[in-house]
Structures are given as structure tokens and as C-alpha cells.
A and B are shown apart, each in its own frame.
Chain A
Amino acid sequence: MDSKRLLKDRLAGRVMFVLTVLSGLLVFVMAIGLYQRSRPILAIKSLRELLFSTSWHPLKGEFGFLPFIMGSLWVTGVAVVIAIPLCLLTSVYLSEYASRYVREWTKPLIDLLAGIPSVIYGVWGVLVVVPLIKDHIAPLFGTFSSGYSILAGGIVLAIMVFPIIIHVSSEVFRSVPYELREASLSLGATKWQTVKYVVLRKAMPGVIAAVVLGLSRAFGETMAVLMVAGNVAKVPSSVLDPAYPLPALIANNYGEMLSVPLYDSALLLASLILLAVVLFFNVIARVVLIRVERSIQ
């Protein structure tokens, strides 16, 4: 009887251990799987040529990723520029100024923003942001734009990364010890001075990590960007130009990719590049956040 219970305990332990190790290794398995499939194209072309060539003609066997990489960088850049000030001010407000009541009402709403599927953001972008840019913003600068542009992608992405940046940076602000604030306030500093010189300074690495997490989410976001960015395979030169970010390229060509030689390999290489960039940013941000957490304890 007792040995049966112990056996069950051990057996379950083994199974759980194996599952834990496997899921811990998942990210490596993903990278290896994608690498295996992108080898055919890497065997013919150098990575450098693929990354820095602007000529994208799959039928002629030319796969230059530069327009797409630049498209991703532009869209992500615009999103981050919009998101940083709004998110920082909001998270300072929520963690330092707002009453408990306001905080408890705001948090679920921001969680809800995080839960809205990206297609819905895309639909909203098409219905509201794109016409806004076409009819009001582009004429303001005396140019024409179809509205499907980097700016549209950037605005939609900014809203999509709000919850991540706010969530992580509020947590970082909250982890700054209260004694520090009290010390500053007792010296006669105003609340804003305390925030500016004590809280923000202490929280800076964590805030940067929060922004980096938001940035990498924006870099990999697919559907919403695919719907509003315009998808023209050219290196953009202004925020009112259309762009064709890397994730949109992958998602948009799943139909043709098996009928053109090397096309599938090129797209899976694009996914591998995306994975590598996002992993790089995520690992750095997470390491910084762990450091911040430790330095406070």
C-alpha cells in the first residue's frame, strides 16, 4: 500500500521533471527547427547578402530582406516614440499619485487592452487610423498618403504595447523602497521632485527593460501591422510611406511559398531572424529585471 503511494510519487516526479526540461528547452528546439529549414537558402546565399540586399524577387531567386527589416525598424520606432512618454507618465501616475480607487479601476481596463486580439486592433486601424491619416494628417503636411503607412502601423502598435510597458514599469516603481521616497519628501522635496530625482533614477534600468520588452513585442506583432502598414516592398523614407515589416511578409506569403523554389526557406529564415532579434531583446530585458529585483531585496 505504502510502496504504491511512493511509486506514484516517484513516477509523477519523473514525468514532471521530463516535461519541465522539455519546455525549458522549447526555445532552443524552435531555433533549431527554423534553422534546419532555412539551411537551403543559406547554402546558396550569404547571410550578409540576404540581410542587406534590397531586391526582393522570389521568382528570380532574389531574396533581399532589407526593405522588410527597415520596415520593421520604422514601424517599431514610431510605436516606441509614441508609447514611451504616455506609458511612463501613466505608470508614474498610477503607482505614485493615483488613489487606490482609481488604481483598482484602471488595472482591469489596461489588462483588457492587453487581451484584445491583434485582428481587432487591425480592424480598428483600418476603420479609424488609416482614414485619419489619409484625410487629415497627410494633407496637413501637404503630401498624399493612402493612409496605409508606417504612421498607421506605429499608432496601432503603440496602443498594443501600452499594457506591457505600463505593467512592467509600474511593478518596477512599486519595488522602489518607501524609505527612499520618505527621505526625499522629508528634505522638503515636492512629490514630482521625489519622482524625478529618486524614484525614476532608482527605477531607470527597470524602466528601460520595460520599454525593451514593449519594443520587442512591437517588432514581432503581425496581424495588426499586416492590415494597416500598406505592404510595399520598398525601403521607406518617411513615416507617411507604406512599409512591409518582416512579420507581415511571413504571414502574407504562406500561400505562394510552397510553389516557388527556396521561397519557404527564405520565409522560415525570416522567422528565424525575427526569433533571434526578439530573443536578444527579451533576454537582456529579463536579466536587467532580475538584477533590479535582487538589488532591492
Chain B
Amino acid sequence: MDRRRIEERIFKGLMIFSTLVILSALVLILATVIVKGLPAMNVAMITQTPKGGYYLGKEGGILNAIVGSVYLAGGATVLSILVSLPVVLYLNVYAKKGSRLVSFTRFSFDVLWGVPSIVYGAFGFTIMLFFGLRASLLCGIIAVGLLVLPIMSRAMDEVIRMIPKELLDASYSLGATRFETAFKVVVRQALPGILTAVLIGFGRGIGDAASVIFTAGFSDSIPYSLLRPAATLPLAIFFQLGTPFVEVQDRAYASAFILTVVILVISVASRLLTRRFTRHIVR
């Protein structure tokens, strides 16, 4: 018809095209990891630690990295919950409405969220030097915990902010203190959101490599103490891919497959949890 209609058509076509490009990037990435990683998978990969000469193509698996990553991300998640839950409850229950501290803290989390993980790693390294520690599980947990903190806090804050003010007022009017209101009403009401936030944090923690490269070190054995260095899945992928041996590179693809499956499971679980844990919610 007229030029306006043609322009409308062209741009709508372009929009659908871009959306498809972006979605196909996701499909392409997942497909590549599955096609390359699945054939290289075997039981030894997930049940054994690297034996002598593993990085030259000899026997073994990456159990050390899987366990190391779970310890590390688990520890970092716990550390991050211990800080972010009180902070978010303070922002939403204790603090006065519209106080400077509240907006400053929210702004600061927004900014921290954008800080690259390598900077958390470098900062973790300065903490290590300050306390005279060596690269270890503990230092890795601290660095990743700090990395996860803003992610988790923002996600929790977003849900807790949505809780109707009347619910808090009802709790106060029954004589509850702010502490009781925070933990018995607010936390319960926001539980699905809080759990989702925890899972998002865990997922970020388990997938991050740049922050642990300085702080957690790498080791072929499973760490038995917080002060031992720990291998992590992303770094295992990186190191195996960097070797010139095809067999070892195949293991890198298998490891990438394992990590991707972990991330997919976490993402699906967080969606299911959101649906499941809604029974305490007052609507």
C-alpha cells in the first residue's frame, strides 16, 4: 500500500529476525556443547580424580573439579546468604522509608553487580596477601561470596519489596517486633523468591572462573580442608582445552557438558521452586 505500511512490514520482519538470531545463538551454544561433549562422556569422568599423566591423555576424571566447585559455590552461597538476607531485611523492614542509607545501599549493589568477576578475584588476592594466606578453598569462597552478594541481594530485594505494606502493619498491630515480623512474616512470604535468589547465586558461583583463578588455586585431589587449594569445573575446562592433546580436549568438552547440565538443572529447579513453594503466601 503506502510507504508507511511497507516500512512497518520491513521493521517487523527485522525484529522477528533479530529475536530469532538471539534465540538461535542460545540453541547453537547448547547444541555445540551437547554434540561435542556427550560422545566424550564416560563414567570415569565423574567418578575419578585425575591420575598421573591425566593431562597427557592418561586415565582419570574430573571428580576433583566437580566436588571442588560444589564446595566452593556452596560455601560462597552460604556466606552470601548470611550477609544478604539480613541486609535485605534491614532495607525493607528496619530502615525508615526513603532513608539515604537505603537508596545508597541499593545503588551500591547495582554498581557492584556490574563489577567484573576478575576484579573480585584480584580483590580476593589482595585480601589473601593481607592475611598472608595461600590460594585455598577458603579464599575462593570469600572471593566468590563477594561476587555473588550483589546478585543475590538484588534478587531478594526485588521480591521482598513486592510484599504489601499492610501485611507488615498487620503483624505490628498484633504486637510483633520488627525482628519477628522480618523472620516470621516477610521471610515466609518471600520464601520462593528467596530460594530462587539463592539458586541464581549458586549458579553464578559454580560457573565463574575469573574470580577463582587467583584465589582457589587448582589441585588434582579433592580438598579435605578449607585451607587446601581446590579445583573448579570452569578452570578444569579451561586447562584441558589449553593442552595440545586431542583426548584431553575431548575431556574439556565433556566437562563443559557437565557444567552446562548443572546450570540447566539449577535454572529449571529455580523455576519449579517458584511454583512449588507458594503455600505460605498470603494473597
Contact = CB atoms under 8 A, between A and B. Distances in A.
Contacts of A81: none
Given A86-B21, A274-B116, A23 B83 contact: yes
Interface in B61-117: 83-84, 86-87, 89-91, 94-95, 101, 104-105, 107-112, 114-117
A220 B247 CA distance: 32
Contacts of A251: 118, 121, 210, 213
Contacts of B4: 190, 192-193
Interface centre among A117, A217, A268, A290 (most CB of B within 10 A): A117
Given A26-B112, A36-B126, A109-B26, A190 B8 contact: yes
A136 to B, nearest CB: 16
Contacts of A111: 267
A146 to B, nearest CB: 15
B276 interface: no
B145 to A, nearest CB: 11
Given A16-B90, A116-B260, A119-B237, A279 B22 contact: no
- Chain A interface size, as a band, is 35 or more
Q: Chain B at the A interface: mostly helix, strand, loop or mixed?
A: helix
A85 to B, nearest CB: 7
Nearest to B238: A119
B280 interface: no
A120 B15 contact: no
B119 A278 contact: yes
A193 B29 CA distance: 35
B168 interface: no
Interface in A2-26: 5-6, 8-9, 12-13, 15-17, 19-21, 23-26
15 contacts: A13-B90, A17-B90, A37-B126, A90-B18, A111-B267, A119-B238, A120-B33, A123-B253, A123-B256, A162-B22, A166-B22, A213-B114, A222-B117, A250-B118, A251-B121
Given A113-B22, A192-B7, A254-B214, 5 more contacts: A33-B126, A98-B19, A112-B267, A217-B116, A220-B118
Question: Which 4 A-B pairs give the minimum distances between C-beta atoms?
Answer: A220-B116, A117-B207, A93-B15, A271-B122
